[in-house]
């Protein structure tokens, strides 16, 4: 495994699908935006280095998107995924605002309050909206830097929600002061959203209507010219688009990711995952730590521990596709909600399995809620089908869940958590892993300060 090299674009394309999930967008949204935006960049004469930075800005534009999900649920008592998806289609007209609010609240209590709150965002740029967008943009830029992308990429993500006329968020920057990559990314985003929902005419109508307000007029005219060319829309809707975008990565040669870079990417996306809910802040990092403590105690070698660490960081990436109305519910989940929650393992495996370097992480992500007695999910695997790597991360995951605050209960002590694990030894979790965790904790300061 040491010395592996894999194309960075392949990894980022695959991980961008997780960002589509948490924005409530159809799979491939960021990839389609990349196709649209890089066409605009080429048309206006960007050089290869600029095009490469634009390419990654477009794929990663929503890096900070998970950070506002819990707040949206809290403010509007709504499903954050469908809320964010449909909110992007609202232009501020009364008829669209009414349709949006009623569609997301029905005739539930506090309908009037929610209507006024959403109208305030659309018309007056409410304080909450500014805070939500500022958190999202700043978090996205920080993660991009951690993942070794250029400052141009970070700035492009930071300015995604600013508008040409200065009416955007969070800073009200206008005109040429807006980063070019931000201008292109916002335009590409709206084109894709309206094309998917209403076709090419809807997309062209929408960007023309917002020209000079949301969008740089010159970029709108550039795209109109591009869109008139033979085959553009056909390729945009092609099932081969992902491969086309991968092969069109700008630059003289593809950027390759080595082992250290893969670690940075996993750590960066762990921050995206954990920002989804206030109750999971730091969860992925802690599961990685507890997994490593167990693995060290069991004598796993360096390369094995490295793979486990990445898998632990990414095991919950599928939670980006679960609404915070389910993730943060303070009471017991009903049958439908529990069915949604259980899908996060499936989503984790689905996302990670498309990345060659993360194959072991995909297996762990898909199986970390399986039990030795076959009563786990999603497949109901039994002991002989559950690898030791899965057992290690599963034990670490449950230990952290027990010792952290959750919507429905306060954090447990280390002693209580270990006692619960011991009760399930041999049925839920592997007794060897539990014993290794106990030994590791017994010789660390953590045991003494808890």
Tokens of 142: 């920080």
Is residue 37 within 8 Å of 29, Cβ to Cβ?
no
Core vs surface per residue 16-37: b (16+ CB within 10 A) or e: bbbbbbbbbbebbbbbbbbbbb
DSSP labels, 1-25: -TT--EEHHHHHHHHHHHHHHHTTP
| Pairwise CA distance, residues 239 & 243, whole Å | 9
Question: How far from the centroid of its chain's Cα atoms is residue 75's Cα?
Answer: 21
Is residue 262 within 8 Å of 12, Cβ to Cβ?
no
The Cβ of residue 444 has, within 10 Å, a number of other Cβ atoms equal to 12
| Pairwise CA distance, residues 349 & 238, whole Å | 24
* DSSP category for residue 331: S
Query: Helix, strand or coil for residue 437?
Result: helix
Is residue 90 within 8 Å of 97, Cβ to Cβ?
yes
Is residue 369 within 8 Å of 378, Cβ to Cβ?
yes
Is residue 212 within 8 Å of 164, Cβ to Cβ?
yes
Q: Is the dihedral of CA 41, 42, 45, 48 positive or negative?
A: positive
Q: Is 84 a catalytic residue?
A: no
Query: Helix, strand or coil for residue 406?
Result: strand
Phi, psi of 424 (to 5 degrees): -100, 10
Length of the chain: 450
Burial class (CB in 10 A: 0-12, 13-18, 19+), 333: middle
Element (DSSP H or E) covering residue 257: strand 256-257
> Which residues, 6 or more positions from 121, have their beta carbon under 8 angstroms from its beta carbon?
128, 129
> Which residues, 6 or more positions from 147, have their beta carbon under 8 angstroms from its beta carbon?
60, 264, 265, 268
Of 211, 319, 332, 342, catalytic:
319
Answer left, alpha or beta for residue 231, where phi above 0 means left and psi between -120 and 50 means alpha.
Answer: left
Active site residues per annotation: 319
């Amino acid at each position: 495994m040491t010395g592996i090299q894999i194309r960075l674009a392949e990894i980022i394309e695959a991980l961008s699908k997780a960002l589509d999930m948490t924005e409530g967008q159809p799979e491939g949204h960021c990839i389609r935006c990349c196709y649209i935006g890089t066409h605009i960049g080429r048309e206006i004469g960007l050089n290869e280095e600029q095009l490469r930075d634009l390419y990654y800005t477009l794929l990663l534009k929503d890096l900070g998107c998970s950070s506002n999900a819990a707040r949206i649920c809290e403010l509007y008592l709504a499903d954050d995924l469908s809320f964010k998806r449909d909110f992007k289609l609202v232009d501020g007209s009364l008829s669209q605002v009414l349709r949006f609010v009623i569609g997301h609240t029905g005739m539930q209590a506090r309908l009037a309050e929610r209507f006024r709150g959403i109208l305030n965002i659309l018309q007056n740029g409410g304080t909450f909206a500014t805070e939500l967008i500022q958190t999202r943009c700043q978090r996205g830029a920080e993660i991009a830097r951690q993942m070794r992308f250029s400052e141009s990429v970070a700035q492009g993500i930071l300015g995604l929600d600013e508008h040409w006329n200065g009416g955007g968020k969070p800073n009200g920057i206008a005109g040429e002061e807006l980063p070019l990559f931000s201008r292109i990314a916002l335009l590409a985003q709206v084109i894709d959203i309206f094309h998917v929902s209403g076709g090419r005419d809807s997309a062209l109508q929408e960007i023309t209507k917002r020209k000079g307000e949301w969008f740089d007029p010159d970029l709108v005219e550039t795209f109109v010219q591009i869109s008139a060319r033979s085959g553009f829309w056909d390729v945009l809707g092609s099932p081969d688009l992902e491969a086309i975008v991968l092969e069109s990565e700008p630059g003289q040669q593809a950027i390759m990711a080595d082992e250290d870079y893969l670690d940075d990417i996993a750590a960066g996306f762990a921050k995206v995952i954990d920002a989804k809910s206030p109750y999971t802040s730091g969860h992925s990092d802690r599961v990685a730590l507890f997994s490593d403590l167990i693995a060290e105690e069991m004598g796993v070698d360096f390369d094995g521990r490295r793979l486990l660490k990445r898998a632990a960081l990414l095991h919950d990436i599928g939670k980006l596709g679960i609404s915070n109305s389910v993730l943060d519910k303070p009471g017991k989940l009903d049958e439908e909600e529990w069915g949604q929650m259980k899908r996060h393992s499936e989503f984790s495996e689905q996302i990670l399995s498309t990345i060659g370097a993360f194959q072991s992480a995909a297996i762990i992500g898909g199986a970390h809620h399986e039990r030795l007695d076959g009563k786990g999910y999603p497949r109901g695997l039994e002991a002989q089908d559950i690898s030791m790597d899965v057992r290690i991360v599963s034990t670490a995951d449950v230990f952290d869940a027990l010792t952290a605050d959750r919507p429905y209960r306060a954090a447990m002590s280390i002693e209580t958590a270990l006692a619960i694990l011991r009760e399930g030894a041999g049925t839920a979790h592997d007794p060897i892993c539990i014993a290794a965790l106990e030994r590791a904790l017994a010789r660390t300061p953590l045991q003494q300060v808890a």
